[in-house]
A = this chain, B = another copy of it.
Amino acid sequence: MDERRRRPAKAAETALPADPEGRVRAVVEGVTPIVDGGRFAIKRVTGEPVKVEADCFADGHDVVVALLLWRRDGEKAWRSAPMEALGNDRWRAAFAADAMGRWWYTVTAWVDPFRTWRHDLARRVDAEDIMVAAEIGARLLEETASRAKGADRKALAAWAARLRAERDPDAVKSMGHDEALDELAMRYPDQRFATTHAPLPLRVDRERAGFSTWYELFPRSTAPEPGNHGTLRDCIGQLRRIAQMGFDVLYLPPIHPIGRERRKGPNNTLTPQPGDPGSPWAIGAAEGGHLAIHPELGTMEDFRALVAAAQEHGLELALDIAFQCAPDHPWVKEHPEWFRHRPDGSVQYAENPPKKYQDIYPFDFESEDWQNLWLALAGVFEFWIGEGVKIFRVDNPHTKAFAFWEWAIARIHRSHPEVIFLSEAFTRPRVMHRLAKLGFTQSYTYFTWRNTRHELVEYFNELAHGPGREYFRPNAWPNTPDILPEYLQVGGRPAFIARLVLAAMLAPNYGMYGPAFELMEHEPREPGSEEYLNSEKYQMRRWDLDRADSLAPLIARVNRIRHDNPALQSNHSLRFLPVDNDNLIAWSKHTDDLSSIVVTVVNLDPWHAHSGWIDLDLGAFGIEPGHPFQMHDLLSGARYLWSESRNYVHLDPQRMPAHVFRVRRRTRTEQDFDYFL
């Protein structure tokens, strides 16, 4: 890691370079996308295009040819596509990786003698010059033929002979223009002096990495009988309603045995009563640690049954991996070297002076035995992968060594490229970004605390269009068991709906902690706190899921809209729209082919109705101003006929604080306009 003595690979030296390096005339630089000069991978899902650009040029006036190259890790041969010159020495091409895993891409360029000959010949006017060029071309094509085989070789030799034999300058010029000859010759270019950029890494995930809908549930609160401890079997009974709400990931807080030493009581008190269940994040007890299941939740058999039942409902189970130990975790005795110790020999608990967390022992990543620690921690993932889990929500990854994450995620992805890691790091921006670069598939965000239009526009523009867009996949949560934001505490039902629509329509990946969310749980532990009163973190709760005011039907509709409208499943087209009222926020998203266009408008004020004028960018939608188009509100079912870019909206939060418009435009076949009024 100490790079102090290294020099940049190509620092200028006075020794002459080796042959043919000194004869390489083309340059490839400014390749995009790129993360930290290629140190980290960009991320895509299978089939998602990678649009690569580069500056390719050479000295002088000769013609440069540039190719985009890409290959799957382990493959020897590069696939390639010619790049298009955009002007000003910038080139572009695109590819899509068709399988999960690690890929590489790069750009190669060279000064091409044949293309230069062709370019110059087209500009020659002097007959004598043209006949000299014919002979030069014939020689070039003979060289090209020597690199070809079979029929192509014969065809190139025949072209060479024709050029040499031709006596009519105009006929020579025609041959120079011949597209078939160009196509044939460019199959065998002279790449002796090509320059190729250092390959850049690409991580390809499955589609759920880019589009997912999470529901977090405490199994202990799922018992049908009041007062009972819910079990994994009880969770099976919840799957239908969760699937009906349109979620595809069911995420469970840690399911491991909960420590008894220094167990916390309800509302995080230090005086638990017998029978208090403790925090699931205080992992490990006599029954086992990170590879065991809390006995009150059930057995490994029960777990497997839950995994299978979830799958039948189209749900994937996500586990919470929290690398920390309760004082009675078996590892504390078995591997004392994995922890720091205090002068008296006791294990050092977590602390952030003056705060002490005596129920939690953090691992010491500077341990002499760090290699075995790493293997054991990676082994936790590997164990649960063996039990069918392919999604992990990682608790506080920013308090574990970065190097560990890079190694562990790469190791797991090597054999299980389908695994998704969600980073639960609510910390400083550079730390969150580092974790995403190191390999985390998705990342929690600051969305939870972004409430005003200005905050939301700035933050989601950064997420969608800033440099992090290549590696940081946001997962937006309006609430978590740790965070009941003030806006939800005070804003009532309109606030919950607004935050739901914001998360669901702004972020292709979003999640909620339920049933607290759909039942609009909003009491804080104390004023000024973001902790839930009677938090499930420390006790069981009973939820009245059949309450008439439950948001479940609305959540189902919102998730159905996400599912049906591909525009909502990525963020590259996100564009915020001007509105002349700061309480309203509006944005559009669309697919590249414009088959799906969605405009969302949200009233951020949960107390008052607001109206305003929004400006659509009709050009981006392929709509000519003055031509009517339908705005179909997928939340209310209402349809409006608009025809100009500037339009009036009015949102009363007591009725519905948001519009989610599908934009239906008249297409050539008008098939897309079947609901035209």
Which residue numbers of A lie inside 8 Å of B, CB to CB? 1-4, 6-8, 10-14, 16-17, 19, 21-25, 27, 29-30, 36-39, 55, 57-61, 69, 78, 88-89, 104, 106, 108, 111, 120-121, 123-126, 129, 132, 135-136, 139, 193-201, 342-344, 351-354, 356, 365-367, 370-371, 374-375, 398-404, 406-407, 409-411, 414, 428-431, 434, 439
Contacts and interface: CB of A to CB of B under 8 A. Distances in A.
B366 A16 contact: no
A339 B29 CA distance: 29
A11 to B, nearest CB: 6
A580 to B, nearest CB: 28
Contacts of A104: 7
9 contacts: A1-B24, A8-B38, A8-B200, A17-B403, A22-B403, A55-B430, A59-B399, A89-B430, A121-B353
A41 to B, nearest CB: 9
Contacts of A10: 39
A59 B402 CA distance: 7
A132 B342 contact: yes
Given A354-B124, A410-B14, A3 B198 contact: yes
A57 B132 contact: no
A194 B3 CA distance: 10
Contacts of A8: 37-39, 198-201
B354 A59 contact: no
B1 A370 contact: no
Given A37-B37, A354-B124, A6 B59 contact: no
A582 B13 CA distance: 49
A409 to B, nearest CB: 8
A370 B25 CA distance: 12
Contact of A411 (B14, B60, B139, B197): B14
B439 A25 contact: no
A43 B534 CA distance: 62
Contacts of A22: 370-371, 374, 401, 403-404, 407
Contact of A398 (B21, B59, B129, B200): B59
Given A3-B199, A22-B403, 15 more contacts: A2-B196, A3-B197, A3-B198, A7-B201, A8-B37, A8-B199, A8-B200, A14-B411, A25-B365, A27-B434, A29-B36, A57-B430, A59-B401, A60-B398, A88-B430
Contact of A24 (B129, B356, B403, B429): B403
A121 B430 CA distance: 27
Nearest to A192: B366
The 6 closest A-B pairs by CB, nearest first: A12-B410, A37-B37, A123-B353, A135-B343, A14-B411, A3-B198
Contact of A23 (B13, B123, B200, B370): B370
A55 B193 CA distance: 38
Given A7-B199, A136-B343, A402-B59, A407 B14 contact: yes
A303 to B, nearest CB: 27
Contacts of A409: 12
Contact of A88 (B55, B193, B406, B429): B429
A249 to B, nearest CB: 25
Copies per complex of this chain:
2
B1 A21 contact: yes
Nearest to A24: B1
Given A17-B403, A401-B22, A407-B16, A195 B1 contact: yes
A129 B2 contact: no
Contacts of A132: 342-344
A186 to B, nearest CB: 19
Contacts of A352: 61
A88 to B, nearest CB: 7
Contacts of A88: 428-430
A404 B1 CA distance: 33
Given A25-B401, A371-B16, A410-B13, A353 B2 contact: no
A4 B69 contact: yes
Nearest to A78: B4
Contacts of A58: 402
Nearest to A133: B353
Contacts of A371: 16, 19, 22
Contacts of A7: 104, 198-199, 201
A353 B120 contact: yes
B401 A139 contact: no
Contacts of A410: 12-14
Contacts of A400: 59-60
Contacts of A403: 17, 21-25
A437 to B, nearest CB: 9
Contacts of A6: 198-199
A407 B343 CA distance: 59
Contacts of A78: 4
B196 A25 contact: no
Contacts of A57: 428, 430-431, 434
A17 B365 CA distance: 13
A66 to B, nearest CB: 13
A27 B431 CA distance: 9
B108 A414 contact: no
Nearest to A342: B132
A486 to B, nearest CB: 24
Contacts of A24: 1, 401, 403
A293 to B, nearest CB: 28
A10 B353 CA distance: 36
A412 to B, nearest CB: 9
Contact of A106 (B4, B106, B370): B4
Question: For A4, A135, A374, A407, which residue has the most chain B Cβ atoms within 10 angstroms?
Answer: A4
